[in-house]
Structure 1
Amino acid sequence: MAPFEALYGKRCRSPVGWFESTEPRPRGTDLLQESLDQVRVIQDRLRTAQSRHQSYADHRRRPLRFVVGDRVFLRVSPMKGVMRFGRRCKLSPRYIGTFEILRTVREIAYKLALPPAFLAIHPVFHVSMLRRYVRDESHVLQYDAVELDDRLTFVDEPVAILAKDVRSFRSRAIPVVKVCWRHRPVEEATWETKQEMRE
């Protein structure tokens, strides 16, 4: 007995094998009519499931709308100069800015006032690349000059070596260094292998 049959007391009827082998199959127009009815039932159930999933998604999603003059953060993709095992660093800045919105291109696209250092980057961005900035008089925003490429990525380069150590494993010892990165504070320094840093 199949698990579905054991749980629900009837055989699983998928669209591939909709008719059971013991049922007499209708012929001619009856077969066509019954197939169309079953297709309508399947479509109704798919619509019901889709609307249910859509309601779950809409509950967590809120539309972002900006007006001219708002200030926003811009999302970037940081990459370390040395990538260990292809992983990116968790504590790298994900947003830079703030930048002022100059005009609305469409409902979901906005033109930003970028500094002259970003001349190679197109100033129109999708709303998913932006994050709202809530004004507060106590905020002191320090804008770091991050060198971005045309894909909005920047390479986080090492600045200084803060400490040295040797990590010993079962059969070998690996020299490591504590590296301070350019766009991150000293508290976020990471341990890298000495060979990778030398390369």
Structure 2
Amino acid sequence: MVRFGKKGKLAPRFVRPFEIIERISPVACRLDLSEELNGVHNTFYVSNLKKCLADLTLQVPLYEIRFDAKLNFIEEPMEILEREFKKLHQSRIAIIKVW
């Protein structure tokens, strides 16, 4: 069984929304999972799922998403857009806006 994050949750905000391919009962359904997630059980209770009206133009392909050994998301900034410094008592904190 593949674990996601510290609590082992598999939710669209952690992975992505999936298509429902079969309703097993009024409270359970089977999802269409990709090959990368073949170790995850594909039957879920409906109470654990949230309805999602996905915009197809905003989808990110799974091959572009990278995870480390603990399945934490690895994000690399593309470009620094803005930089400013906040001064707190005796220290300076850099605030950087990236894209």
What TM-score results when the alignment is normalised by the length of structure 1? 0.32
Residues 110 and 123 of structure 1: CA distance in aligned 2, closer, same or farther (over 3 Å):
same
Residue 11 of structure 2: aligned partner? 75
Are 2:75 and 1:157 equivalent residues in the alignment? Answer: yes
Matched, 1:97 2:17: yes
Instruction: Report if aligned partners of 2:18, 2:32 keep a CA contact under 8 Å in 1.
Output: no
Map of 1:117 onto structure 2: 36
Q: Which residue of 2 aligns with 1:144?
A: 60
Flag as ranges the 4+ runs of structure 1 deviating above 4 A.
146-149
> Is the alpha carbon distance of 1:127 and 1:111 closer, same or farther for their aligned partners in structure 2, counting shifts above 3 Å?
same
For 1:170, the aligned partner's letter is H
1:117 alignment partner, SS class: helix
Secondary structure of 2:17 counterpart: strand
Structure 2 residue 54 is the aligned partner of structure 1 residue 132: no
Please report how far the alpha carbon of residue 171 of structure 1 lies from its aligned counterpart in structure 2 after TM superposition: 1.8
1:112: how far off?
1.0
Give the equivalent residue in structure 2 for 1:42. Answer: none
Question: What secondary structure, in the 3-state scheme, does the structure 2 residue paired with 1:158 have?
Answer: coil
Amino acid at match of 1:144: V
SS in 2 for 1:112: strand
Aligned to 1:166: 85
Residue aligned with 1:75, SS: coil
User: What amino acid sits opposite 1:141 in the alignment?
Assistant: L
Over the matched positions of the two proteins, sequence identity in percent amounts to 20
Q: Provide the rounded CA distance (Å) in 2 between the counterparts of 1:132 and 1:98.
A: 10
Superposed CA RMSD: 3.4
Greater share of strand: 2
Aligned length: 83
| Contact 1:158-1:179 within 8 A present in 2 as well | no
Give, in whole Å, the separation in 2 of the partners of 1:116 and 1:170.
52
Residue 154 of structure 1: how far off its partner (Å): 5.6
Provide the TM-score with structure 2 as the length reference. Answer: 0.55
| Deviations 1:119-150 (CA, angstroms, capped at 9, x unpaired) | 2322111212323356xxxx85233224598x
Q: Indicate the structure whose relative CO is greater, using CA pairs within 8 Å and at least 6 residues apart.
A: 2
Return the offset for 1:110. 0.8
Question: What runs of 5+ residues in structure 1 fail to find an aligned partner?
Answer: 1-73, 79-94, 181-199
2:18–2:33 Cα contact (<8 Å) kept: no
